[in-house]
Structure formats: structure tokens, C-alpha cells
Structure 1
Amino acid sequence: MNKTKQSPNRVCAGALGTVLCLCAFSSSAGELHVFEHNRSVMNLYMVSDKVRITYETPRPGLGEAGIRSGTVLFEGSYDGERFEGTAYAFKAGCRPAPYAVLGRSAGNGQIVLQGPAPVRAKHGCAVTGYSVESPHARLRFSHSATHH
């Protein structure tokens, strides 16, 4: 094994280019893949058909919305072709707003998840609707060649 990664919630070890991980949401071994999303470093954990994408290193400014290392951005499933599940939109002072997304691998190490995302009240946390025009409606993840 060439790399070991540990935290309070997981123990990961890499071998032959694949990273295996014991994750907090499952007691069985799975895979860890590192992606980049809007200048944040993200961890994609896959155990069987279950998938969870969390922030590893959020980009500057996201802490104001309550995003920290380990914050979940997506949780759902992957059937070998399609991702399906719940993503979360964040706003400072508000609870994360869940919304349904679907996605596929877009090739070249990219994953794209899409779904009408929450639109919040201008001065508050209430979700007033959902829109495909929201900046959260299309989430693009690029496999990271620099973060392992």
C-alpha cells in the first residue's frame, strides 16, 4: 500500500491506483475518489451501490454557509451508469436545502449531477421554489490529478 489516510470518520489506504476506504456510513470496504468542484476538493465515497460526496477542503468563503470538511453535498446511489439521489444547497444562516438530482459520468474523469435546485427567499431561509436556472442545478465534478 502506498498511501494511508485517516480521520475520525474513515480510514483509507491506497494500493495500485485505487483507494479503499472504510466509511462512516457503511461498515464495509469501498472506494474513495478525489474530485474538484468549484475550487473545492471533494471526496466521493462508494460502498456497493451507495455514494456520498463530501467536502474535503472547501474553497474560501464557504465556511460562511456552514460548509466544513466532511459536509455532505450529495448522497445517493450509482447503478454503474447513473447517479441518483439528494444534493444540498447551502446559504449562510440556513439549514441545507435538499433537492433531487440525477447524473452520469461525463467522460474525461467528470461527473455531472443535475436537477431543479432550491430557490430561497431573498431575505431568509424559506425555499420558495425550484429552478433549473439556479447555480446549484448543475453540479460538475472533475477527477483530481493533484489531490490524493
Structure 2
Amino acid sequence: MTAIVLYKRPQLVTKDDQSLSFYLLSKFIQDSPHVYTNQKCKDTLRVLFAHPEAECIVVCNEADQPVGLVNCSKFYLRLIGPMGMDSLYMEPVTKLMNRNPLIVEEGTHVQSIREELDRRQEHSLGEYIMMTKQGKLSGVLKVSDLLSL
């Protein structure tokens, strides 16, 4: 099963404001490991072991477009829970991913991203925003880093 997340691109501002905004924002964009929608939780666990420093894993479709996000801490807790490993190990990663992450195209003004976060009212400072370039994954941005700008 392939999960698809639809999102609207926020309005962009003038070229000068946009360039400065993205320059500041780009300092905080990090690489992130990723898996694909057709992979199982066991595959995601292997990626987590290969990247122990990662706080999140992006879930992409076959076109390398991000469609979901796995918070590593929550993922581990679900797997070690009462019915975790036995029941979830062979399940698709899409079962445990956040299906409504914030996905933002590079070049979007910082204020537009903040406004979208405010509309959602469900974010925490440890959450991540997925950044794309021409629709494909380019990295992740921690909400707390965005709010520090």
C-alpha cells in the first residue's frame, strides 16, 4: 500500500526576501535517512541501526517524494511495546509513520512555514519538517531550529 500526502505550497514572497529567508533556513537543513513505502518495519529498523544518530526517517514513494515521517524514538517504543516486535516487525512502515507531516518546498519564506505550523497546532519542538526541491526530498528541518530564526 502506498501512502500519499497532498500538500499545498505556501505563497512565496519577493525574490530578495525569499533568498535571504532560504539562506538562513538552509543552514539548518539536515540530511535524513529514508525508506520507501513498500518497505517493512524490519527494514526501517535496519536503517535506524545504520544511522543511530538519526532522530527521524523520511518515508518516500517510488519517485523519491516524501509522504510520511517516522519519529525514531516513537518507533522504538512501539516496537518494544507489549505487542511490538511480534506484530509489527513484518508490517509496512506506513503503518507507523506520521501520515500528515509538514512538507515544504525549498525557497518557501520562513514566515509562511511558521504560519502553516500555527495552523496545525500539533507540532512540538522536537518534530521535523521535510524539505523538498522540485518535489523530491532534500532534507529535514527541526521545528525548534525554524522557530529560532
For this structure pair, what is the TM-score category when the shorter chain's length is used for normalisation? under 0.3
Structure with more strand by fraction:
1
* Larger RCO (CA within 8 A; separation ≥ 6): 2
TM-score, normalising length from structure 2?
0.23
TM-score, normalising length from structure 1?
0.23
